[in-house]
Amino acid sequence: MTITQASVIQEYKTRTHNTDESPGYFTTDELQKLANLWSLIIDYLAANKDKQITVNSELLERVKNTWPDLRQDGTIDMQDNEQVTRRAWKFTKGESTVRKLGLLNRKPVDHERQLLERHVCETTQEYVDRVSGHHVPLLPTSYFPSFKYPDNATRNWRDVFWAIASAKQHPDIWVHRYLRANGWDTNKAFVCIQSVIEWRAAQALDQINWEGDICLGFDEQRLGILQLVGHDKLGFPLTYFRVRRIMPRANQSFVFKRYLIHQFETIQHITRSHSRITMLCDFTGFSMDNTPFNIVHFLVTLGTKHYAESTSVLILLVDSWLFANFWSLVRPFLDASLSARIVFAKTMNDVLVFIDESQVPEELGGLNKIDMMKVPEVNENCKLFDEKRRQMAEIEWREKVEKFEEATRIWCTRFNGDKSDTYSDVRDNAAHELDRAECHLGQFTRARTQYARLNM
């Protein structure tokens, strides 16, 4: 089925989601192609079960080694900059310390302007340590990928594949995206999946998930540059991207790239049952200073390749003629599927076609009062320190992976076009068990995020 902008808009006007090419609604031909793709994957996994990929993550190394070089020059008073706050902010374990400094009693100032101008690169861990007056261990001192493959210098291809495939309620939700992205061409989809897995392994995304927002820039989170805020009219998760809040230091691209990847990864895990999300991109007050082209190109790559076919609609809220020149540079990099899901909005009425007023952020004239952030609690990641229970959870997860893999192998070899045969039922049951095992393991391998603290 060919997706057009008109068909996407019609879905939202009628509040009727088109389920074509979606899990649970596949045609017999689509199911056959899905089975063919899984056959390629299962065969590759069997032939390369011990394949290791070298970690070459510029994001991890540069954040670790270069971050101190991005700090302020000492001319800005840190105490004064603590005025940069919002009434909605909630301080948990650090609240008493903050009150002692008199920070919560100060009148909020223009937080956005000050944060954009101060150029301080401070991680959440560094912020908590500074406010507390001593080191507060929010994470264990070191990370290891797994008990079976503990070497931090490499990642096992099979482990990386199943880690992301099982991040959805059914692995088909993740795998079938690459069929849709490649016009249901099985071979092209398989090559794309190979590339994505190798990228995830090389960038050590498992470690980025494990560290969560503890090792991200604290100012990026204060500003809420990219944030999950609610849902659209079709029930898909809604993210709000405040483009104007991209800080000038984002020209040091590794800082913002890591932030973007963490946000994409977090949303992937939160939206386990969804195949798509809606993104509202606020380009009001647009300037080229806020949108360095290397960052924009990276964002497009994430959306079209690494997280392919994950967008329901991309709403671009624009109020500047300068955007036309910028858009002419970006548009050639978009694929046909994503292009069809991009709409422009100039007024609130344009936005309300896709999002109910109750879900539109208050700053745009809607009724959605968004909590910006909560500072991490001291013991919120206590399960990350529990290696014994993590090992038990990992053993269970591997058992469920093997069970689903075997059920999929049998389903592929005996697929006859029947959507409700015994082999499909066995496979779906195995997927359900794998989903539960992955959720349990995730408690020991992923740090809590802002959304967990805000009960989203």
Residue 383 has pLDDT above 70, yes or no: yes
Spatial neighbors of 83 by CB under 8 A, at least 6 apart, are 103, 106, 107, 108, 109, 114
Residue 179 DSSP SS3: helix
Mean of the pLDDT values across residues 16-25?
76
List, in sequence order, every residue forming a beta bridge with 156; answer none if it has no partner: 52
Mean of the pLDDT values across residues 239-259?
77
pLDDT at 79: 36
pLDDT at 211: 95
Residue 67 has pLDDT above 80, yes or no: no
Whether 322 contacts 286, CB under 8 Å: yes
pLDDT at 155: 97
DSSP 8-state assignment for residue 347: S
Task: Please write the tens of the pLDDT for every residue from 293-341.
Answer: 777 888 888 988 999 888 999 999 988 777 888 888 888 888 888 889 9
Q: What is the pTM of this model?
A: 0.86
- Least confident piece of the model among 128-142, 250-264, 404-418: 250-264
Provide the percentage of residues in the chain whose pLDDT is more than 70: 83
Task: Please write the tens of the pLDDT for every residue from 149-172.
Answer: 999 999 999 999 999 999 999 999
Gap between the terminal Cα atoms of the chain: 34
Residue 323 DSSP SS3: helix
How sure is the predictor about 112, in pLDDT bands with cuts at 50, 70 and 90?
low
Mean of the pLDDT values across residues 118-141?
86
Run of H or E residues at 230: strand 226-231
- Least confident piece of the model among 141-150, 154-163, 253-262, 393-402: 253-262
Angle between helices 58-66 and 253-270 (to 10 degrees): 130
Backbone angles phi, psi at 56, to 5 degrees: -140, 55
pLDDT at 324: 81
pLDDT at 373: 77
How sure is the predictor about 55, in pLDDT bands with cuts at 50, 70 and 90?
very high
Residue 78 has pLDDT above 50, yes or no: no
